[in-house]
Amino acid sequence: MSEEKKSPYIIPIGPTHPALKEPVMFTFRMDGEVIRDVDFAPGQTHRGIEWMGMRRNPVQIVHLTDRICGICGVSHTLAFSRAVEQVAGIEVPERADYIRTIIAEFERIQSHLLWAGVAAHELGFDSLLHLTWRVREQSMDVIENLTGNRVNYALVQVGGVRRDIVPEQHRIIEDCLSTYEGLLGKLLDLFLHDKTIAMRCRNVGLLSKDDALKLCTVGPTARASGVNVDLRQDYPYCAYGDLDVRAILPDQHLGETRGDVYDRIVVRLLEVGQSCGIVRQCLSEMPSGEITAEPKLAKLLAICKKARGEAIGRVEAPRGECFHYVVMEGKEAPTAWKVKASSYSNLMSWIPMLRGEQIADIPIVVASIDPCLSCTDRVAVVRSGSRSILTKDDLHRLSVEKTRRLQQ
């Protein structure tokens, strides 16, 4: 056997594999246990949600956006609603903004706890998975109480929210917040002071600040590498303008930023505490008033039908910036609707993170950016049964062609 045939050898991981919670195809070129090079192919869970959206009115699409992601449903509904509200010129009542903020922060709490459990599982630490998911239940219960369901909340509607937070619910929320504030120290202790976790996560999956900026990473992935980005601080929306939200960077807790998996754990756990603070502040400052700009849905549909223009809705989802682009041209359905989920910006950071690491690090490094692949997969090109890869040039050519077509 010739030398180049033996080394490097190739290990395929995916499209389905225990290390991956959602399908994506990795191809690793290995040298012993060390990763020499890595390539990945997303697009295994394309569902055509945008296509469905272009055949529906905004009131219907809001509930479709809820299903783009099972974990960050509020972020997608919020981003879409904000885009449509800008196009249609709907002014959202202040109370609705506060309720939106509260539910978005609860979503962040449960999403980060879910991630922490998954990360522990990827390390083979199942007890920690069970513990974090057990304490996560309390936030799920509160979300259930506020919205009616555990996932697919259907709380946000164009123009406001569909359910109010009544005084009896304040106590439930307050109970949950104080539990989490008490638990946070324990969770930090269990995750950060455990020698085995530190051995597996410190200096693993490094992403330098330069790379993080170059690859346009967002959310906790970027913040763990020391990039000071957070939409809630940079472009406040909903009630965040009234609150004092500062991006959480790992050096605030550890005194230094390395950009490894450990830093990503720190950022996410600290954000749980931050979210508790935000919810508490929202509860105490929440103004009274209407919860929606237009309670009559038939009227809302008419307003949306008349709307013309284009707008972008941006929201800081638990995984980073989530972005919806909507064009409406006086028809019932939007002319264009594009979704850029936060994982889309983060996926490319896998390449520098994984290069030079070991096989054992693949699960935790892949999980460390908290990838949400079904949110990300927007395009699948299948022609006569065979898949093809489109390069940047191809995409540019196609978009020029489309513009020409529209100009005619």
Partner 1 sequence: MALLPMFPELLKQLFRTPATNMFPAKYLPPSVTGFLKKVGAGQATLVPPVQTPPKFRGKIEYQRDGCIGCSLCVKVCPSNAIELLEETKRIRIWVDQCIFCSQCTDICPKGGLRMTDAFLLADEDRYSENLIVE
Partner 2 sequence: MTLVTTIGEIILWTVIVSLFGLIAGLFLLGIDRKLAAHMQARIGPPLRQPFIDIRKLLVKENIVPENAIPWLFNMAPVIALVSSLVILLYIPLGSLISPLGMYGDLILVMYLLTIPALAMVAGGFASGSPYATVGAQREMVTMIGYEFPLAIVVIGIAWRLWAAGVAHPFLLSSIAGNPVWGIVGPLGIAGLILLLIVLAVVTPAELSRIPFDTQEAETELAGGLLVEYSGRNLALFSLSTAVKTLVMGALAVAIFFPWNLSSFVALPAGVAQVADLLFFLAKVVLVMFITVTLVRVGMARFRINQVVTVYWVYFALIGLAGLLLLMADSALGTVAGVL
User: Where on the chain is the footprint of partner 2 (CB under 8 A)?
Assistant: 9-12, 17-19, 33, 120-128, 130-131, 134, 194, 196-197, 199-200, 358-363
Summarize the chain as % helix, strand, coil (round to 5).
55, 15, 35
66 makes contact, choosing from partner 1, partner 2, none, with CB < 5 to 8 Å by partner type, with: partner 1
Using CB atoms within 10 Å of the CB of residue 384, give its burial: 0 to 12 exposed, 13 to 18 middle, 19+ buried: exposed
280 makes contact, choosing from partner 1, partner 2, none, with CB < 5 to 8 Å by partner type, with: none
Q: Shortest gap between Cβ of 166 and partner 2 (angstroms)?
A: 32
Reply yes or no: is the peptide bond before residue 18 cis, omega within 30 of 0. no
Does residue 148 touch partner 1 according to CB under 8 A? Answer: yes
Q: Shortest gap between Cβ of 114 and partner 1 (angstroms)?
A: 16
Does residue 184 touch partner 1 according to CB under 8 A? Answer: no
Mask for 246-285, x = binds partner 1 (CB under 8 A):
----------------------------------------
**Residue 112, SS3?**
helix
355 vs 290: CA distance, rounded Å? 53
Q: Which of residues 25-64 bind partner 1 (CB under 8 A)?
A: 56-57, 59-64
* Among 87-95, 130-138, 233-241, 305-313, the segment contacting partner 1 (CB under 8 A): 130-138
141 makes contact, choosing from partner 2, partner 1, none, with CB < 5 to 8 Å by partner type, with: partner 1
Query: Do 21 and 118 touch, CB atoms closer than 8 A?
Result: yes
Residue at token pair 């529906």: 56
Query: Do 367 and 268 touch, CB atoms closer than 8 A?
Result: no
Residue among 17, 36, 46, 163 that touches partner 1 (CB under 8 A): 163
Structure tokens at 273: 């505490």
Does residue 66 touch partner 1 according to CB under 8 A? Answer: yes
Closest CA relative to residue 61, chosen from 42, 80, 36: 80
Q: Shortest gap between Cβ of 254 and partner 2 (angstroms)?
A: 19
Q: Which is nearer to partner 2, 32 or 289 (CB)?
A: 32
Does residue 171 touch partner 1 according to CB under 8 A? Answer: no
Using CB atoms within 10 Å of the CB of residue 182, give its burial: 0 to 12 exposed, 13 to 18 middle, 19+ buried: exposed
Q: Shortest gap between Cβ of 127 and partner 1 (angstroms)?
A: 6
Alpha-carbon torsion (346, 351, 354, 356), positive or negative = negative
317 vs 224: CA distance, rounded Å? 16
Q: Shortest gap between Cβ of 6 and partner 2 (angstroms)?
A: 12
Q: Shortest gap between Cβ of 329 and partner 2 (angstroms)?
A: 48
Most distant CA atoms of the chain, gap in Å:
77
**Residue 168, SS3?**
helix
Does residue 149 touch partner 1 according to CB under 8 A? Answer: yes
* Interface size with partner 1, residues (CB under 8 A): 34
Q: How far is residue 85 from each of residues 78, 80, 81, 90, measured CA to CA in Å?
A: 10, 9, 6, 5
Q: Shortest gap between Cβ of 13 and partner 2 (angstroms)?
A: 9
Does residue 82 touch partner 1 according to CB under 8 A? Answer: no
* Among 123-131, 279-287, 308-316, 342-350, the segment contacting partner 1 (CB under 8 A): 123-131
Does residue 97 touch partner 1 according to CB under 8 A? Answer: no
- Give the distance, in angstroms, between the CA of residue 33 and the centroid of all CA atoms in the same chain: 31
59 CB neighbour count, 10 Å cutoff: 17
Query: Do 100 and 78 touch, CB atoms closer than 8 A?
Result: yes
Residue among 216, 301, 348, 351 that touches partner 1 (CB under 8 A): 301
Does residue 196 touch partner 1 according to CB under 8 A? Answer: yes
Structure tokens at 362: 């693949």
Residue among 32, 41, 124, 134 that touches partner 1 (CB under 8 A): 134
Query: Do 226 and 210 touch, CB atoms closer than 8 A?
Result: no
282 makes contact, choosing from partner 1, partner 2, none, with CB < 5 to 8 Å by partner type, with: none
Structure tokens at 27: 């191809």
Q: Which is nearer to partner 2, 156 or 261 (CB)?
A: 261
Structure tokens at 223: 């913040």
Chain residues that interact with partner 1, rule: CB under 8 A? 56-57, 59-64, 66-67, 125, 127-128, 131, 134, 137, 141, 144-145, 148-149, 152, 154, 162-163, 189-190, 193-196, 297-298, 301
